[in-house]
Chain A
Amino acid sequence: GENVEQHPSTLSVQEGDSAVIKCTYSDSASNYFPWYKQELGKGPQLIIDIRSNVGEKKDQRIAVTLNKTAKHFSLHITETQPEDSAVYFCAASIQGAQKLVFGQGTRLTINP
Chain B
Amino acid sequence: SQTIHQWPATLVQPVGSPLSLECTVEGTSNPNLYWYRQAAGRGLQLLFYSVGIGQISSEVPQNLSASRPQDRQFILSSKKLLLSDSGFYLCAWNMLSGNTIYFGEGSWLTVV
Interface residues in chain A, defined as those with a beta carbon under 8 Å from any beta carbon in chain B: 32, 34, 36, 41-46, 49, 89, 91, 93, 95-100, 102-105
Q: A34-B99, A98-B49 are in contact. Are A43 and B104 (CB under 8 A)?
A: yes
A residues within 8 A CB of B43?
89, 102-105
Pick from B46, B99, B100 the residue with the most CB of A within 10 Å: B99
Minimum CB–CB distance from B51 to chain A (whole Å) comes to: 6
Q: Is A45 touching B103 in the complex (CB atoms < 8 A)?
A: yes
Residues of B within 8 Å of A95, CB to CB, are 99
CB distance from B24 to the nearest CB of A (A): 15
Do residues B51 and A98 form an inter-chain contact, with CB atoms below 8 A? yes
Verify B44–A93 contact, CB threshold 8 A: no
CA distance A98 to B102 in the complex (A): 13
Q: A89-B43, A102-B43, A104-B43 are in contact. Are A43 and B97 (CB under 8 A)?
A: no
